[in-house]
Amino acid sequence: MRKLNILFKSQRYSTYITHFTQSRFYNSNNASYDGKYSMKICEIFTSIQGESTLQGLPCVFVRLAGCNLNCSYCDTQYAREGGTDMSIGEILTKVENLSFSFICITGGEPLIQTDTLLLAQECVIRGYVVSVETNGTIDASQLHEDVIRIIDIKCPGSGEHGKTHPENIVNLRPADEFKFVLNNRTDFEYAREFVKKHRLTDACTVLLSPAWNILDPDVVAEWILHEMPEARLNLQLHKIIWPYESKGR
């Protein structure tokens, strides 16, 4: 049994997590989920978390298939449909065999599959650090209280703005992170006013992410420095490390 300690810090809180890598956590029985709660899985892979306050950590990504939006800058079009049927037991077994402490459940849009709530909960129970990346259009309030919710707020440049579920901007948790992908100055101004209106930085972390190959990071950095210092610049580190790869990174 190998002990792995992670010191996790964000702007609002810090948590010291001790994780024991072993074949089963808390005597869990993954077989009890075999053949049940079938989910559509695009891919399960290991990489470096490229975004959020968890940026830089080794991570197991569970990418679910299917999405209810079609953003102009989408970089995972291959996850919009299809996928492989896997039971929650099969997913948990594969994740545990990869022996990492941090799991990111992403998509597509993971919350269009209702069993994502159960999958996230079971990962938390087994001692993992768990984040769920969502496009913000579906109520994320039922996710386990220990899940780190990365909620995307769509700006005009995405072609999908104005669809945020109202529950996702009330009853905020300290671990919540709101991400705005910016195509241009209009998107920045939209994000700035949205954050101000809903007082997001009073409760959680705000991430401003320049759309890859559309908006230069130095431009967004200057906007943050002069107009929105409470926000955090969010670059896609995985694309910097592996610029010519997409799937499985």
In three state form, how does the secondary structure of the chain look?
CEEEEEEEECCCCEEEEEEEECCCCCCCCHHHHCCCCCEEEEEEEEEECCCCCCCCCEEEEEEECCCCCCCCCCCCHHHCCCCEEECHHHHHHHHHHHCCCEEEEECCCHHHCCCHHHHHHHHHHCCCEEEEEECCCCCCCCCCCCCEEEEECCCHHHCCCCCCCHHHHCCCCCCCEEEEEECCHHHHHHHHHHHHHHCHHHCCEEEEEECCCCCCHHHHHHHHHHHCCCCEECCCHHHHHCCCCCCCC
**What is this structure's pTM?**
0.86
Look at 78-82, 145-149, 240-244 and tell me which has the smallest mean pLDDT. Answer: 240-244
What is residue 246's predicted lDDT score, i.e. its pLDDT? 67
- Give yes or no for residue 22 having a pLDDT over 80: no
**Amino acid identity of 191?**
A
Higher pLDDT, 230 or 16: 230
What is residue 34's predicted lDDT score, i.e. its pLDDT? 60
- Taking the C-alpha atoms of residue 17 and residue 128, their distance in angstroms, rounded to an integer, is 9
Residue 117 to residues 23, 95, 149, 227: CA-CA distances in angstroms? 23, 16, 12, 37
- Give yes or no for residue 25 having a pLDDT over 60: no
Contact 235, 209 (CB under 8 A): yes
Residue 87's pLDDT band (cuts 50, 70, 90): very high
Residue 41's pLDDT band (cuts 50, 70, 90): very high
For the chain, percent of residues with pLDDT exceeding 70: 83
- Give yes or no for residue 11 having a pLDDT over 50: no
- Give yes or no for residue 122 having a pLDDT over 50: yes
- Give yes or no for residue 23 having a pLDDT over 60: no
Residue with tokens 């999958």: 119
What is residue 244's predicted lDDT score, i.e. its pLDDT? 75
Domains of the chain, earliest start first: 37-241 (3.20.20.70)
Q: Per-residue pLDDT tens for 178-225?
A: 999 999 999 999 999 999 999 999 999 999 999 999 999 999 999 999
- Give yes or no for residue 5 having a pLDDT over 50: no
- Give yes or no for residue 3 having a pLDDT over 90: no
Residue 99's pLDDT band (cuts 50, 70, 90): confident
Residue 84's pLDDT band (cuts 50, 70, 90): very high
Q: Give the list of residues 6+ apart from residue 163 with CB closer than 8 angstroms, or none.
A: 69, 136, 137, 154
